[in-house]
Amino acid sequence: MVLGCLLALFASLSPAMAAHRERTFLMVKPDGVQRGLVGEIIQRFERKGFKLVGMKFLQADEALLKKHYEELAGRPFFNGLVKYMQMGPVVAMAWEGLNVVKTGRDIIGATNPMESSPGTIRGDLCIQVGRNIIHGSDSVPSADRELALWFDSKELVSWKQEMETWIYEETK
């Protein structure tokens, strides 16, 4: 009986609510992987209520990293950033949820960990900009571009998270 009610409630989620969902790209950088922080980072996003829809553990090559960071290509730190990102494996992730891009950036904290608030990933776990353990898309267009760069569409999974009715209100 309870299960039937829950399934009916889930089925009643309005299309309007689903339309406000978006996806974002997050990447645990080599320093985050080396420090064993992948699980904690995933846990923070799951506890918030966001849904993991794609994940890979890989050693990114120079071409992929240059494409990913292409908007920084003219900056003096660009070559060092690409070299640093090749120093170890990364964990690339796709997350889905209501306002996940902006909220994800809030969870991550400011680029400079010394300017990040306590309670954010960078505020709690980092000290220097050059070792700030995580990348997160800064806009929906950036998220779309980064997701397409790191994931084939077949690698992103659409699935029903049964607890969504306890995370999102139904909107009409």
**How many angstroms separate the Cα of 14 from the Cα of each of 19, 21, 95, 101?**
9, 12, 20, 21
Spatial separation of the C-alpha atoms in residues 103 and 101, rounded to whole Å: 6
77 is in an annotated binding site: yes
Give the Cβ contact number of residue 143 at 10 Å: 22
Q: Is 122 marked as binding a ligand?
A: yes
Tokens of 118: 């306590």
Residue 160: count other Cβ atoms within 10 Å of its Cβ: 11
Q: 23, 51, 68, 135: which one is catalytic? A: 135
Taking alpha carbons only, the member of 48, 35, 75 closest to residue 168 is 48
- 132 among annotated binding-site residues: yes
> CA-CA distance, 83 to 23, in Å (whole number)?
28
According to the annotation, is 29 in a ligand binding site?
yes
The reply to whether 135 belongs to the active site is yes
| Residue numbers belonging to the annotated binding site | 29, 77, 105, 111, 122, 132
Q: Which residues are catalytic?
A: 135
| Residue numbers belonging to the annotated binding site for ATP | 29, 77, 105, 111, 122, 132
